[in-house]
Structure 1
């Protein structure tokens, strides 16, 4: 039998912890969004940054604050609330872990951000060597990662406690809590790569303890983490799609087994795929690149499972409400409810986003778009639209639920307006990036170094379109910040629902295998060892300085 939780409201103490994370996330959204606006202005060629601020400085601020800080803090805020709502209130010890994690992450963020603002860490979001940052930047990022481990441990312990309390009851663990645990385990496994790179290479190097670093090794360790990071962003959006949206539209979760299986597939296929970001790099044998490309394509399977599950659930509900014909059910969905409408825009954006991802991961097609602004356009469709709009759609009911306020009719309409603004801005900006990328416009460049080259003139219309789209997006960010402030402090007091769907009665039984984490973690470890052992041994043994050394070039 499936578990339906009796707790309808998140405990006030857990709510406070969740909201602390969410506040930091939205501060990061505002500052990171402003940096993004400055970027597209500079690229349009019509604007120069004031006060000696460098283009790559604002690029680093934008990437780090939105790609790492907004996402990690919002995800943890959402996950803390989700576990508390479905597995029960945290114990004092578990909550203390959450607070320790929060403060470690916040102090680390402040340290890293300070160095970037002082222009001592203009190393972009990927912080590749041989670009070097101040050691405080690397230490700050380490604290963010360690803080996330501590906070994530608290969430996993609460889930483990639920399973212990319900041993032998025949109940499946709460689906939403199960998904949180899968995401955390994937994050723990993935961040080992970036932690190893920072602690053993970049931090000692920036402190002057070692003279040089192995660039190929540091990049490989970064991408061991970097692609799983994408799924760490994506899985909380999938949590909303699988478990929250069914309840919002008045339907049921299509299949408990399918939801759990898709998450377990993401767990095992998320990490041994990082080399597909390094297809043009020397030092990695083509065979291993090809193997990781094949593993990357395996991730398409749980994504297609999710798409099927979503639209099956939409159709079942639409027909229940009287939808006739092939697409009559579509009109019956609650289009005016922002809790559904804003994440739905995200779902739609994920279709072209996913198609672009197939291009990026393809061994041959990647040659055309590698290191062009096409790649930037791609992740603005996936993370910055599909994922982030789902987060916003969740925040619009989660924040009032946690603060004891209500999502009013006028704020609901304004939220829908912000989603439409976002979709319009991103369509203009991302389309311009994709097209400019196809005609060779480089990624991570302000184009000034191209001077009067004919090529640069060809890019100008697309750069101006990016500035137009970016401006619309920044207006959307201001509207969203206004809504968040209203929901946190000024909306009428009341009870806002934390919607969690029940599983459809015809969903069928869930195999116990899908909750056996030991088996899946062994498969994950085996896949990682298979995909990475030989490439990393090759890199170390072929470095000019030999296995002991650190080479720079």
Structure 2
């Protein structure tokens, strides 16, 4: 088996510029700090829900719940993804220019300042409004202002990626852009379009409301604007994992990319169908015409297509590579995969977790079946399979090679072995937690609620074993978090000096030529805009015209 630290001789390894590496690592430092804080908050949550632990005053359950959701769902993901995409663009499209790097740093510091502001309000118990911050729950204005800065800061980082792409295209007319750069661009465009909704909600409604400049807000509008952003947020988490699955994993196992065109097509489809589908998170809310809900359910199911394309492409890569090196029987290629390499094994566990996660997503998006699980802890279990398993394990797998690549160190055999242990522990812990959440949700256990709110009820007795299973899973997960932080610190500061590869696979020579239509952004952004206008214009007019007159918390801005 190939040692993870000796895949290539140092002289053949392409390194990203140290200045770009420092920018990426700055994002990672915040991301892994968020992992520690959010992980601790998650552990406290599951222990409180068993009824065996009470939080000391003045800490409240919903304060801890908000920390967990905001810090992991928004801060960890946004910082890690921005750092990874900037590094990926630097690696595949060339060193960032001074202007691009400056935009990246402005974005980083803007996001960091915003994160500190929002986190301070949560820790002072002035913003215990969960990561969805639904009105009429009201937070301190600095919470909304801080999250607005996080969004605006991410636009600067995205601007650096767009500028790098344009520079490459100008220098290479008539050629398809590097695949990782193309994927980073798609994710950036999707993020920028999606965050317009949440930015509008905070700037136009929630910030003035929290400052006392207006008395009331239109709750349905704020929720709709959030889920206009909230569903593509899921794909903003997921697409960087897809980037690693499509481009990095084939190189790690010694294979070629099955199809460049298929990868680009799947990303374009995510761009088109990820944003105009937010109503499937609001199927149980009044005030939205059922016909528009049904339309967005259909659009939601269309996102299954690029997911299935990805699954086909990945397993075709694994099988064709396995057969090329001697696999004979139907599943013989499985034995040929490098199971001793954490850079492959840990993300592969995430890939497998995405199979039941996708099935659960189909339930959540279904017009009738959703009624069984809506607002139950089933939905939380679904998030823990998608984000907290498929995505986060892939992020860990990226860290195993990207951090030492940037810091000029190596992934040693000892750390590689520890990384596999860490990934397996994560899978075990999440199996306990997520299965228990799904099962309790089918019994009607509510999401977001603490044990004290339903303790003593006859039905709650059915949920107690599942709460205990969640606590067991959460404890195992926290041990895995500690191991991951140890691995990150080791790879950043203490691992032996050396050269670690940034794996970028080549396209299979038998693959079809990539058509340049994928680079036609007027076409793709135009279609995206038309779909959004079609899906949201009339429903928004209805919400504004039919909002309750003068009701507290419901009046339009």
| Structure-1-length-normalised TM-score | 0.97
How far apart, CA to CA, are the structure 1 residues paired with 2:471 and 2:447? 15
Runs of 4+ in structure 1 deviating by more than 6 angstroms, as ranges, are: none
Aligned residue among 87, 95, 119 for 2:93: 87
- List per-residue Cα deviations over 1:357-403 (Å, max 9, x = no partner): 00000001000000000000001000000000000000010000000
Aligned residue among 395, 402, 407 for 2:411: 407
Point out where structure 2 has 5 or more consecutive residues left out of the alignment.
1-11
How far apart, CA to CA, are the structure 2 residues paired with 1:108 and 1:306? 35
Contact 1:100 / 1:147 at 8 angstroms: preserved in 2?
yes
Aligned residue among 18, 26, 44 for 2:50: 44
- List per-residue Cα deviations over 1:385-438 (Å, max 9, x = no partner): 000000000001000000000000000000000000000000000000000000
Aligned residue in 2 for 1:160? 166
Cα shift at 1:447: 2.8
Farther-moved stretch of structure 1 (514-523 vs 181-190): 514-523
How far apart, CA to CA, are the structure 1 residues paired with 2:203 and 2:22? 33
How far apart, CA to CA, are the structure 1 residues paired with 2:528 and 2:547? 28
The alignment status of 1:458 with 2:466, answered yes or no, reads: no
Farther-moved stretch of structure 1 (7-16 vs 385-394): 7-16
1:345 to 1:382, Cα distance in 2 relative to 1, 3 A: same
How far apart, CA to CA, are the structure 1 residues paired with 2:117 and 2:211? 16
Q: How does 1:507-526 map to 2 (within 5 A)?
A: 507-526=511-530
Contact 1:183 / 1:235 at 8 angstroms: preserved in 2?
yes
Contact 1:60 / 1:116 at 8 angstroms: preserved in 2?
yes
The alignment status of 1:130 with 2:157, answered yes or no, reads: no
Aligned residue in 2 for 1:15? 21
Contact 1:335 / 1:341 at 8 angstroms: preserved in 2?
yes
Farther-moved stretch of structure 1 (310-319 vs 449-458): 449-458
- List per-residue Cα deviations over 1:433-472 (Å, max 9, x = no partner): 0000000000000031223111111100000000000000
1:41 to 1:552, Cα distance in 2 relative to 1, 3 A: farther
Aligned residue in 1 for 2:7? none
Aligned residue in 2 for 1:364? 368
SS in structure 1 at match of 2:168: helix
Contact 1:57 / 1:122 at 8 angstroms: preserved in 2?
yes
- List per-residue Cα deviations over 1:34-74 (Å, max 9, x = no partner): 00000000001110011321000000000000000000000
Q: How does 1:411-422 map to 2 (within 5 A)?
A: 411-422=415-426
Aligned residue among 260, 265, 273 for 2:264: 260
The alignment status of 1:345 with 2:349, answered yes or no, reads: yes
Q: How does 1:222-301 map to 2 (within 5 A)?
A: 222-301=226-305
**RMSD in angstroms over aligned alpha carbons?**
1.3
| Structure-2-length-normalised TM-score | 0.97
How far apart, CA to CA, are the structure 2 residues paired with 1:172 and 1:39? 48
The alignment status of 1:118 with 2:124, answered yes or no, reads: yes
How far apart, CA to CA, are the structure 2 residues paired with 1:154 and 1:327? 44
- List per-residue Cα deviations over 1:204-256 (Å, max 9, x = no partner): 00000000000000000000000000000000000000000010000000000
How far apart, CA to CA, are the structure 2 residues paired with 1:425 and 1:302? 29
Cα shift at 1:545: 2.7
The alignment status of 1:148 with 2:154, answered yes or no, reads: yes
Q: How does 1:424-439 map to 2 (within 5 A)?
A: 424-439=428-443
Point out where structure 1 has 5 or more consecutive residues left out of the alignment.
1-5
Cα shift at 1:546: 8.2
Cα shift at 1:7: 8.1
Contact 1:7 / 1:85 at 8 angstroms: preserved in 2?
no
Contact 1:405 / 1:492 at 8 angstroms: preserved in 2?
yes
How far apart, CA to CA, are the structure 2 residues paired with 1:63 and 1:452? 27
Aligned residue in 1 for 2:394? 390
SS in structure 2 at match of 1:454: coil
